[in-house]
Structure 1
Amino acid sequence: MADPRRHHGNGYHHRHQRNKKEHVSSNSISGVSLIHKYLPKELILRIFSYLDVTSLCRCACVCKYWNQMALDGSNWQIVDLFFFQTDVEGPVVENLSKRCGGFLKSLSLRGCRCVTDNALELFSRNCQNIVALNLEGCTKITDAACESLGQHCNKLMKLNVDSCSSLTDRSLVALSKGCLHMESLSFAWCNQLTDDGVVALLKSCDKLVNFVAKGCTQLTDASFKCLARCSELKTLNLFNCSQLTDEGIVAISRGCPHLTCICLSKCLHLTDISLVNLGTNCREIRLVAGCSLFTDHGFESLTKHSHYFEKMDLEDCTLITDATINHLATNAPHLSVISLSHCELITDDGIRHLCSSICASECLRVIELDNCPLISDASLSFLSTCRHLKRIELYDCQNVSKSGVQKLQATLPNLNVHAYFAPATPPADSGGSRRRYCKCCIIL
């Protein structure tokens, strides 16, 4: 039987495809019409409320009715535009603020580098019920944006302006005047901020629960003494606040008894005095990231008084010995993550003691031992008894062998081991230059 397409040429094919599309389209419209017929508007809106931004935008393209439903402000109370960061510019934020208005409660513009002050000024006026705002990495914004937030958004409770390096003390002063309910504030790497701005903010916003100032190298003890006014403070990150001294930490420990997490890495002036006071006054502490001057004495006092530790980051605490590991093994039954990288005095005996503790048998999931030269295969043998262990870091542990790692994984098959083993004899380089080996992650 002759193929009819041979007589009708491409015209038949085009009409066939068009009819097929029309049939599918009519079925789709029919299905949408049935939804309209049997589901009330309120229920459709409730269904749409569970969709993410991408899905809502796709639904808005189905038909006129769905466009109205998908773009209804009630569906846009929580918006995260992080995955659109390469495309998001000021007009998108402006249109979003006009569409959502008072419905919008939480907005993340993390990584949206093209957003400017003009867009945020309009946003502040239109979305005055905003509670949480993430502007991390919005590097074009200046004090004008924060001044608009302080003027219009008095319900704001959570603000993240990490890496917005153009901000100055003017921003914090503006926030202190209008955002009196602030509970969480993060301004990491905002290097222009000084004590004047932080003190002005903290005098008005004393309900802070979360405070992040990492990389703010101009801040001194004056800021942190004022932070002690925040009696409900729970999370504190002061990474690389290089002017901080024991005096500031003593004030915080006495004024913030509910502190649970504190990062003090790269705070080069702190001594055991800080640990002793944290242990005495902050009994609920669960996470500590230490610094290079801390010794066994400080951790003995800390662990003696606080027994809820879940994570300990002791990287670069080069003065601690197995004694600190013994204190944790005895007094930290809930410990699940510990970093001992660059702790060059830790030995197999300390790991043996840790592995014989309650935390090792019940909780320990991650241990980092990078650049621990005294650790050997004996430690891996002890760690093989930790049945909940999920990850171990062993970069540049010269006394750990590949065969030791293989034995550990044979015992714990679900364990991820991150290690690097240099070739016994570096291969010759025809160019005459010395070859450099990348310290990459190899899962054995």
Structure 2
Amino acid sequence: MTSSMPDEILPATTASPASPASADGQIPLEQPPKLKGRQRLLQNLQRMSSSPTLTRRGRSASTGYRRDHKASLSCVSLSSAAYSPCLGNGSASQLYGGLHPGPPTPGSIGPLEEVDDNNARIRLVETESSNVSRSVPVPLEFRPNSPGTGTPVEEIAEEDATASAATSEIQPILPDHNPSRKIDFWGDMPRELQVQILRYLTPRQVVRCSVVSKRWHEMCFDGQLWSRLDASEYYSKIPSDVLIKLVISGGPFMRDLNLRGCIQLSNKWSTHGERMSDACRNLVNLSLNDSVIDKPSVHHFLTRNPRLEYLNISGLKSVTNSAMKSISQSCPQLSCLDVSWCINVTAHGLVCVAKSCNQLGDLRASGIRGFDDDSVARALFEQNALERLIMSRTDLTDETLKVLMHGAEPTIDVLTDRPIVPPRRLKHLDLHRCAEITDRGLKSLAFNVPDLESLQISQCPELTDASVIDVVRTTPRLSHLELEDLESLTNNALVELAKSPAAECLEHLNISYCENLGDPGMLQVMKHCPRLRSVEMDNTRVSDLTLMEASFRVRKRGYGEKLPEIGLRLVIFDCTNVTWAGVKEVLSSNAYIPRARKAAFKPVVTVAPAGSDTESVATTPCMTPTSATPSPASVYPSEIIYLKSFYGWQPTVEEHTKRVLRGDLNAASRLDRKWADYMMATEEAGATGAGARRRRRRAREAERLYNADGDDEDSYGVGGVTAIGGRRRRAQSGGCTVM
């Protein structure tokens, strides 16, 4: 052990007697040499250094190599069967008496041969400046081929030799992707995405999907899907058990619950009512109208949902004044309350609601009794938050209405003789069929409701022109006015309506069964109300003049390339002064295109001179140089009139309207002419003494056809003749067509 190590390993010329070599000078792997002496001692030292007992003793880490270029024992201990020899330089062969146990590697100096036993000590063969790779090879278990595949030692050694010397971190190689593995698209999707996809289905489709599997059943009854449950669309097709399960599944997620008409729950409220109300504690909108529910269940829903903003319990017999008390105590954020036709609720129960719910802006109390007491009116006046008030078919009196508008004891202005009170915020007021309302009570609305948009005072027999005129003059935003069955109303009210600021905003007018109203008032309304969309005037004295004026005003709304739309609806049932000629005027106006518009789209035929080889060519009218785009192929009225007339004429009117709406104006005109011929033939055959009337009508029709190409800005008819009688217009040729 004290002898000095030689400077280099000299190749041996002969094999050791103790270790017979093969013919090429290498020792076979299957017959390891039997070591003796010094080699046996070094082998024992290698086994001892590889023992984990050295680690437990706290032995310091090896430094690799010493300054005298001699290897340490720790380096010898790292050599194992799973790894290549330390440093991959073949120095481990010195531990076996100069014989390498394996085949030579590309990184080694050459084939290792037998070395003299006396010099079999550990020494550094290569220096630091050599290009031999010193990286640790990848273990076999992390290589692409599994250990059991039998990778040859030569291939492993070749891969280790080609590894990069700069690689400092070894990444394990993942196994190849198995193409035979099936992808479960729906199963691998997150639960949140699955629920979001199911939101696009209707409730009926979601319930049907719940029978696919147990997992789908749990997912379809997830509370996140039922934050809004509107059973009014399928209330007659869903069983009570499924409906109860949906309500309970929604639970704290549910915000909107509509059980309108769900009478199948009538026998379930006593057993499941408390459970359903206990699950739904975060409701914002609740609708129970037209259903059968017991009183305790209503109480549970009201007391356990303090966030309620919209509540519809109209028509429920189980709702009483005690329910109104529960609302006032548990629902301070209520903004809309509908208790119409609750026969067990009186105005006295609404007082506590009006006092406690400061945000109440919509109160619907049709059919409620007890409004002859002004206590509710005082509470609503003090809050001044109402925007919609519906008190139709109640016992409302003039005194209650005045308290609602002016308060109990208002201060009177000495100059205007009007009470000095803040204006009301009302936008919609419904007082129809309040028989006790008179002009004295309705006049209290004047100058106090400047934001009023809708007023319904139909079937109030005591109202006259005086109160109606005062209201329409002081409501500049009025767009819907219901004056049905006011027998004392005259044309003066309509004339004042046409002069008032509300004429520019008026869209809907109902004067049905007002038998004193006729053309003098309606003609002014048609002229000065350009935004009219609906007029109901059945059982009045209006005549064909009103229909002609309406047709002319609708034609003024223009023409375009798009298909027509319904712009005005007229209802003229049982109007004795309206004849089929007036109905025909409306139909003709719907399919009428002015001649100036037709000329822009009518092709012009140019005739070639005689003897020339050119043929006649159809061209469009001459365009000015400034026109950039060609004219469209067709033009239609922008808006038309939809007419509801006598039931015997209505089928023809409906068919004519369908043809116009689909753009077939020629077919509509043919139907119009044939219907006119039929009506004239019917009158000639069955009417007695109708000769003069027939001659006048035929003369008027002939004159209309003669002047059809005259003026498109006529006042009444489609032609150039007014209903009262107008001047004759010259026919125009349309200009020269030959260039």
Q: TM-score range by the shorter chain?
A: 0.7 to 0.9
Q: Tell me whether 1:192 sits opposite 2:344 in the alignment.
A: yes
- Residue 410 of structure 1 aligns with which residue? 588
Q: Deviations over 1:273-331 (max 9, x none)?
A: 33332231111000000133222221222122211111111111222212221222222
Alignment partner of 1:154 is 2:325:
no
- Looking at structure 2, the residues matched to 165 and 171 of structure 1 have their Cα atoms a distance apart, in angstroms, of 11
On the 8 A contact 1:268/1:292 being kept in 2, the answer is yes
Q: CA deviation at 1:364?
A: 0.8
Structure 1 pair 88/293, CA: closer, same or farther in 2 (3 Å)?
farther
Q: 1:166 to 1:350 in 2, by over 3 A?
A: same
Alpha-carbon separation, structure 1, partners of 2:456 and 2:389? 11
Contact 2:494 / 2:522 at 8 angstroms: preserved in 1?
Answer: yes
Change (3 A) 1:156 1:311: same
Q: Hey, what does 2:431 align to over in structure 1?
A: 264
Unaligned runs of 5+ in 2: 1-180, 408-422, 555-565, 592-639, 656-739
Deviations along 1:176-215, whole A, 9 cap, x unmatched? 2211211101011112212331112222223211111112
Aligned CA distance change for structure 1 residues 246 and 50 (closer, same or farther; 3 Å): farther
Correspondence for 1:236 among 382, 389, 408: 389
Q: Select which of 496, 506, 510 maps to 1:339.
A: 510
Alignment of 1:95 with 2:273, yes or no, is: no
**Which residue, 379, 382, 385 being the options, matches 2:549?**
382
SS in 1 for 2:644: strand
Q: Provide TM-score, normalisation by structure 2.
A: 0.50
Establish whether residue 300 from structure 1 lines up as the match of residue 460 from structure 2.
no
Aligned match of 1:324: 493
Matched residue, 1:435: none
The answer on whether the counterparts of 1:206 and 1:229 sit within 8 Å (CA) in structure 2 is no
Pair 127,64 (structure 1): closer, same or farther in 2 beyond 3 Å: same
Write the distance in 2 (CA, Å) between the matches of 1:42 and 1:157. 29
Q: How far does residue 101 in structure 1 lie from its aligned partner after superposition? A: 0.7
User: 1:270 & 1:203 partners in 2: Cα distance?
Assistant: 25
In structure 2, give the amino acid aligned to 1:347.
G
The change in CA–CA distance for 1:31 and 1:324 in structure 2 (over 3 A counts) is farther
Of residues 346-355 and 161-170 in structure 1, the stretch that sits farther from structure 2 once superposed is 161-170
Q: For 2:537, which of 369, 372, 393 is the aligned residue?
A: 369
How many Å separate the matches in 2 of 1:152 and 1:66? 31
Secondary structure of residue in 1 paired with 2:520: helix
Matches within 5 A, 1:5-20: none
SS of alignment partner, residue 306 of structure 1: coil
Which residue matches 1:34?
185
For 1:365, give the aligned amino acid: R
2:575 maps to amino acid: C
User: C-alpha distance in 1, partners of 2:389/2:330?
Assistant: 23
Equivalent pair of 2:299/2:326 in contact (CA under 8 Å): yes
User: Which secondary structure does the structure 1 equivalent of 2:264 belong to?
Assistant: coil
Q: CA deviation at 1:136?
A: 1.3
Aligned length: 393
Structure 2 equivalent of residue 25 of structure 1: none
CA pair 100-161 structure 1, distance change in 2 beyond 3 A? same
Q: 3-state DSSP class of the match of 2:455? A: strand
Q: 2:315 aligns to what SS in structure 1?
A: coil
Amino acid at match of 1:72: D
Per-residue Cα deviation, 1:215-257 (whole angstroms, up to 9, x for no partner): 223443333333324322111111101x101222223234771
Please give the alpha-carbon distance, in whole angstroms, between the structure 2 residues aligned to 1:90 and 1:274.
49
Which deviates the most, 95-104 or 323-332? 323-332
- Say if 2:315 and 2:341, in contact at 8 Å, map to a contact too: yes
* Distance in 1 (alpha carbons) for counterparts of 2:641 and 2:185: 52
Which position in structure 1 is the counterpart of 2:403?
251
In 2, Cα distance between equivalents of 1:115 and 1:223: 34
Which blocks of at least 5 consecutive residues in structure 1 are unaligned? 1-29, 424-438
1:297 is paired with a residue whose SS is: helix
| Cα distance in 2, alignment partners of residues 441 and 282 from structure 1 | 44
Q: Is the 8 A contact 1:149 1:175 kept in 2?
A: no
CA deviation profile, 1:91-143 (whole Å, cap 9, x unmatched): 444322320110000011111123334344332211010011111101x2243
**CA distance in structure 2 between the aligned counterparts of 1:32 and 1:191, rounded to whole angstroms:** 62
Q: Supply the distance in 2 between the matched residues of 1:441 and 1:214 (Cα, whole angstroms).
A: 40
Distance 2:572 2:186 in 1: 58
The structure with more radius of gyration: 2
Distance 2:209 2:236 in 1: 22
Indicate the SS of the match to 1:136.
coil
Aligned to 1:429: none
Q: Distance in 1 between matches of 2:212 and 2:583?
A: 55
The corresponding residue for 1:396 is: 574
- 1:386: Cα distance to partner? 3.5
What is the CA-CA distance between 1:402 and the residue it aligns to?
A: 2.3
After superposition, the Cα gap between the structure-2 partners of 1:421 and 1:51, relative to the gap in structure 1 and judged at 3 Å, is: closer
Q: Is the 8 A contact 1:102 1:128 kept in 2?
A: yes
Residue 443 of structure 1 deviates from its aligned partner by: 4.4
Matched, 1:107 2:257: yes
SS in 2 for 1:378: helix
Residue 287 of structure 2 corresponds to residue 134 of structure 1: yes
Aligned AA (1:130): L
Q: 1:385 to 1:254 in 2, by over 3 A?
A: farther
Contact 1:82 1:111 in 2 (8 A): yes
Q: Tell me the residue number matched to 1:309.
A: 478
Q: Any idea what the Cα deviations from partners look like across 1:375-418, whole Å, max 9, x if unmatched? A: 11111111113326431111111111123112112213543222
**Once the 2 structures are TM-superposed, how far is the Cα of residue 160 of structure 1 from its aligned partner?**
0.7
How far did 1:40 drift?
A: 3.1
Counterpart-to-counterpart distance in 1, 2:384 and 2:274 = 33
Please give the residue correspondences for 1:39-188 in structure 2 after superposition, counting only pairs within 5 Å: 39-88=189-238, 90-116=240-266, 117-118=269-270, 119-138=272-291, 140-188=292-340
Partners of 1:218 and 1:441 in 2: CA distance: 50
| Equivalent pair of 1:276/1:302 in contact (CA under 8 Å) | yes
Comparing 172-181 with 81-90, greater Cα deviation is found at 81-90
Is it true that 1:354 corresponds to 2:505 in the alignment?
Answer: no
Which amino acid is the alignment partner of residue 219 of structure 2? M
Equivalent position of 1:24 in the other structure:
none
CA contact (8 A) 1:146 1:175 kept: no
For residues 37-61 of structure 1, the C-alpha deviation after alignment (integer angstroms, 9 at most, x for no partner) is: 3x43323322333433223223334
The whole-number CA distance in structure 2 between the counterparts of 1:253 and 1:129 is: 36
Instruction: State the secondary structure of the residue aligned to 1:302.
Output: helix
Partners of 2:371 and 2:400 within 8 A in 1 = no
Structure 2 distance, partners of 1:88, 1:47, is 23
Q: Which residue of 1 aligns with 2:451?
A: 284
Identity of aligned pairs, percent? Answer: 26
Contact 2:378–2:404 (8 Å) recurs in 1: yes
Which of residues 375, 378, 385 in structure 2 aligns to 1:222?
Answer: 375
Whether the 8 Å contact between 1:94 and 1:122 is mirrored in structure 2 is no
Counterpart amino acid of 1:179? C
Tell me the amino acid that sits aligned with residue 420 of structure 1.
F
**Secondary structure in 2 matching 1:385:** helix
Q: Which SS does the other structure have where 1:228 is aligned?
A: helix
* TM-score normalised to structure 1 length: 0.81
Q: Relative to 1, partners in 2 of residues 1:91 and 1:253: Cα closer, same or farther, differing over 3 Å?
A: farther
Displacement of 1:161 in angstroms is 1.1
CA distance in 2, matches of 1:338, 1:213: 24
Residues 411-442 of structure 1, C-alpha deviation per residue, up to 9 Å, x if partnerless? Answer: 1354322222579xxxxxxxxxxxxxxx9998
Paired with 2:452 and 2:192, the residues of 1 have a C-alpha distance of 46
